[in-house]
Each structure stands twice: as C-alpha cells, then as structure tokens.
Amino acid sequence: MDHLPPNPSSEFDEWAESYDASVPVDQFPFFGYRNILTHIVAEAEPRPGLSVLDLGTGTGNLASRFSELGCQVWCTDFSAPMLAKARQKLPAARLFLHDLRGAWPGGLNCTFDRIVSAYVFHHFELDEKIRIIRSIIPERLIPGGRLIIGDIAFPNLAALERVKSGVGDEWEDEFYWLADESLAALAKAGLRAEYSQVSVCAGVFHFHDWK
C-alpha cells in the first residue's frame, strides 16, 4: 500500500496499551463513548449467528459487544498492537491488519450481515469517507444488510465551533463529520443515510436502501 497517504498507525501502536483506560474518560473527543457503542449495537439489531465486520476495531470494544450476543465477528485495524489487544477479548474473531483506504485482504472477500465502525472515519476527508463507503456497501454487505458508523460528528459547523470553544486546549483538528454537509454529499453520491446525534461531539450514521 505504498501509494496511500501517510498512515498514522505508529500513534495508535503507542496508544494500544492505554487505550481502554483513556476512552471512557468524560472529555473531548470521547464524551458519551459508551453511549455511541450502545447506539451502534441497537441500530444493528444483532442476534446469534449474524456475521458482523468491525472496521477499525482498535482494542475490540465494539466488536466484543457483538461477540457477547452470539454474532460471528470479523475485525480490521491498521495497528498490529491494537489488534493484539483485541485478540485478548475476542479469541474466536477473525482479525485482519488492514488500512481502509487500500485493497481488501483476501480473507475478507465475502459479504456480511452488518458492517459497523466506531471512531474511525474522522481520520478521512469527506470525499475519502464517501469513496470508502461506496465501495463497502455493494461489495461487502448482503442485500438488506446494514452499515452503521459511529464517530466524532456535529450537526453543523456552528455546533462544532461551540464545542471547540468549550473544550479549549483539549481540541484537536481532524476531519470531523458535519452532519448537514455530509448527508447532502452522501445523497449526491447516491447514498441514503439517517443521522442521530448521541453526544455533543459524536453521532451515528445508519446507511440503508442503497439499491
């Protein structure tokens, strides 16, 4: 994947050891972190035997919820130390070292009932988000399947600016979703999505009816 833009995996490699202790802390950007995971699972309506692919699984916090409910779980991440942590929680899962911007590993050349992701897509500009999603839906979801993305997101630019002002030095600029412009761009690209704001700085996109 030498043609891809720089991969910040080294930052996540270093973060792997302390990640689980840091994300539940009630500060930006993880206000409502557990609620986001709960919302994703609720939207997915999991049941035993369902096949679920977790994109950018990190240490497996989202994937483990589906595993506990009897789903068959596949996971990707671009950080090997993060996947090692996920393996401790998910001994039966199929884990793949993978950058979402690149070609899919051979072991993932199949389709899934559900594809989910938490706190990953804000690393990509909006055009790249859309490109990835447009490849995922027809190639990796079964007909009638669901793609559900929870991430750092705001209803609009004004909401982002309010949070940015409030958190002060905790703020870090990345490619955060603005729901109003994102939904319009997704619709222009032929992708239908519904959006729910879950915390002041995070929400969930549910993609459906893509045919």
CA distance 176 to 56: 16
In the chain, the domains with their CATH numbers are 9-207 (3.40.50.150)
Cα dihedral 91, 110, 76, 196 in deg (nearest 10): -110
Report whether 122 contacts 176 (CB < 8 A): yes
pLDDT at 8: 54
Q: Which residues of the chain have pLDDT under 70?
A: 1-10, 13, 15-16, 24, 209-211
Q: Which residue's entry shows tokens 């972190």?
A: 33
Q: What is the DSSP string of 130-173?
A: HHHHHHHHHHHEEEEEEEEEEEEEESSHHHHHHHHHHHGGG---
For residue 199, give Cα distances in angstroms to 36, 150, 178. Answer: 8, 11, 14
Report whether 193 contacts 206 (CB < 8 A): yes
Report whether 95 contacts 69 (CB < 8 A): no
CA distance 152 to 203: 7
Report whether 53 contacts 31 (CB < 8 A): no
Q: Which element (helix H / strand E) includes 178? A: strand 177-178
pLDDT at 9: 56
Neighbours of 6 (CB within 10 A): 6
pTM here?
0.91
> How confident is the model over 22-42, as pLDDT tens digits?
776 778 999 999 999 999 999
> How confident is the model over 47-86, as pLDDT tens digits?
999 999 999 999 999 999 999 999 999 999 999 999 999 9
pLDDT at 10: 57
